[in-house]
Structure 1
Amino acid sequence: MSKSDPPPSYEESRQQSYGPQQHGTYPYPPYGFPAQPGVYTGPGQAGIHPQPGLWQGPGYPSTAMPSMMPSFIAPGIFSSNLRDAEDVSSTGVWESMSVRHAFIRKVYLILAAQLFITSSIIAVFAFVEPVRLFVIQNPALYWASFPIYLVTYLMLVCCEGPRRRHPWNLILLFIFTLTLSYMTGTISSYFDTKAVFLALGITAIVCVIVTFFSFQTKVDFTSCTGLLCALCVVLLVTGIITSIVLSFQYVPWLHMLYGACGAIVFTLFLAYHTQLLIGNRANSISPEEYVFGALSLYVDIVQIFIFLLHITGGSE
């Protein structure tokens, strides 16, 4: 190269350093990075300037490149998580409801078996005349069954262990059902057969109405525990006074009044114990207490029948 020769241009010096870079009409980008439309790749592209935020250098990815989690996917993920949480919550609610419904079905199946046994024993005492006369002539059998009734009742109500331990809870409940059925049949023997079946029919109607009312109403009977206890005390005092008066002289209206009061009080107790099974009131019982639930409803229904029997029937 002579001194008169002009110095090579920038493009010529680039070609001498890197070799030919022409491929068609587009130059190869330096440093081995692929060319992108509109991205600055160095000199040699006159009039092409880098756009803001699109500088492609070594080790720095373009901000226009999609990230690992695009922003439009994030709301979908969060909403999916919320739906999953709602599904878990609703699943828990539905599982709780299914457990409660299974518990209610179990209670009413046990109650149906108890009422079937009681109705059958009452029918025997009402229709079989020798049995009826034998019970009337031997009242000591009634009082002999009372201690069994009291012991089994206290064990089932007061002792959580026997009440929840299978199969002892069902065995105790069966013994209690037989004892109370016998005592109810003995009481029915002193009344006319028509009065007994009339009381049975009224009891069935009352129980169906109270059950549907307790499930549908917004009135919470479980929050009226104090009132029901006070009514129990009033009924107890009224029963003592009635027994004393009737022991000296039989007063029909007093007898019927006591029966009406008892039927009303135990109808309220039936509504109270029915709502304890539902689980969405102020007070409820555990699904493990199916024996206690069946026992409570059974005693209420039997007591309603006995008090109605005092209203519908005349003592022989």
Structure 2
Amino acid sequence: MWNQPFGKTDLESGGGARPLYPMMLESPELRWSFIRKVYIIIAFQLLATIAVGAVVVSVHPIALFFAGTGAGLALYIVLIFVPFITLCPLYYYYQKHPVNYLLLGIFTVSLAFVVGLTCAFTSGKVILESVILTTVVVVALTLYTFWAARRGHDFNFLGPFLFGVVLVLMVFAFIQILFPLGKLSVMIYGCLASIIFCGYIIYDTDNLIKRYSYDEYIWASVSLYLDVINLFLSLLSIFRAAES
């Protein structure tokens, strides 16, 4: 240490970059490299979602097949469950390349198909409004979380609260399916879901900065991708209910 030239820093020890949060013990360069990798994966996921969704929306026979036939409805139900089923093998193979990327691709494309079918029966104005608002909110909350983390704020306490509220939302959605409560209940549900997934964006971004290990880039990508998609769908339901 005493033999280092004055004013020089050891880049391998993390001295070449400012710590992301106080008392950071790991190398900031390694953490930034991990964060960039996660956001690159998420960018590809979102681009794939946009591409698949655009095909489903623009090619009308696809939406008509799913909406007007029994086989289409059955396939739609299967597609809803495919992302959740894919998460099971992804849990065991998230470190095994290229199986982890293959499973991540199946997860993304199947979920993108469901999003595309939802958008196929929604006006372009509502979709555009939801995309713009989702983009603004995600960017703003991400920047805020990095800013807050650097100043010593920690959002790990949000985990149990967000998990509990998601369970409430799931039960509420099940009740809504069995006993539809009308447009007002849909708007209330959409507002609550939007707030919850805003909280999840902060919580998962905070975990990305501090807690995910370098081998968990797949899980970090899945978590933040789901936050963005769920926020978009929540806002979409609000604007669609308001328009009807």
Q: Does 1:293 align with 2:220?
A: yes
How far apart, in 2, do the equivalents of 1:312 and 1:101 lie?
36
Cα distance, 1:146–1:237 mapped onto 2, change above 3 Å: closer
How far apart, in 2, do the equivalents of 1:154 and 1:269 lie?
21
The code of the aligned residue for 2:116 comes to: G
The code of the aligned residue for 1:237 comes to: V
Following superposition of structure 1 onto structure 2, how do residues 26-45 of structure 1 map, counting pairs within 5 Å? none
The code of the aligned residue for 1:277 comes to: L
**Structure 1, residues 262-313: CA drift from partner, whole Å, max 9, x if none?**
111111111111111112xxxx110111111111111111111111111111
How far apart, in 1, do the equivalents of 2:94 and 2:12 lie?
30
2:114 corresponds, among 171, 174, 183, to 183
* Aligned counterpart, 2:76: 142
How far apart, in 2, do the equivalents of 1:87 and 1:196 lie?
50
**Structure 1, residues 101-146: CA drift from partner, whole Å, max 9, x if none?**
1111110001000000101222222233333322322222211223
1:256 corresponds, among 187, 190, 195, to 187
8 Å contact kept, 2:57–2:117: no
Q: What secondary structure sits across from 2:132 in the alignment?
A: helix
1:305 corresponds, among 222, 232, 235, to 232
TM-score (norm 2): 0.84
Give me the CA root mean square deviation: 2.4
Gaps of 5+ in 2: 16-25
Cα distance, 1:234–1:147 mapped onto 2, change above 3 Å: closer
8 Å contact kept, 2:194–2:231: yes
How far apart, in 1, do the equivalents of 2:9 and 2:238 lie?
55
8 Å contact kept, 1:136–1:190: no
Cα distance, 1:96–1:136 mapped onto 2, change above 3 Å: same
* Aligned counterpart, 2:2: 80
1:96 corresponds, among 27, 30, 40, to 27
Following superposition of structure 1 onto structure 2, how do residues 272-291 of structure 1 map, counting pairs within 5 Å? 272-279=203-210, 284-291=211-218
Higher CA-based Rg: 1
The code of the aligned residue for 2:158 comes to: C
How far apart, in 2, do the equivalents of 1:163 and 1:152 lie?
11
The code of the aligned residue for 2:57 comes to: A
8 Å contact kept, 1:149–1:180: yes
How far apart, in 1, do the equivalents of 2:119 and 2:73 lie?
13
The code of the aligned residue for 1:275 comes to: D
* Aligned counterpart, 2:163: 229
Gaps of 5+ in 1: 1-78
How far apart, in 2, do the equivalents of 1:132 and 1:194 lie?
19
Q: What secondary structure sits across from 1:186 in the alignment?
A: helix
Displacement of 1:81 after TM fit? 5.7
How far apart, in 2, do the equivalents of 1:123 and 1:206 lie?
22
8 Å contact kept, 1:266–1:300: yes
Displacement of 1:189 after TM fit? 2.0
* Aligned counterpart, 1:238: 172
Question: How many residue pairs are counted as aligned between the two chains?
Answer: 226
Cα distance, 1:147–1:242 mapped onto 2, change above 3 Å: closer
The code of the aligned residue for 2:87 comes to: Y
Q: Does 1:110 align with 2:41?
A: yes
How far apart, in 2, do the equivalents of 1:117 and 1:200 lie?
15
Percent identity, aligned pairs only, is 31
Q: What secondary structure sits across from 1:164 in the alignment?
A: coil
* Aligned counterpart, 1:166: 97
TM-score (norm 1): 0.66
Displacement of 1:186 after TM fit? 1.5
Q: What secondary structure sits across from 2:214 in the alignment?
A: coil
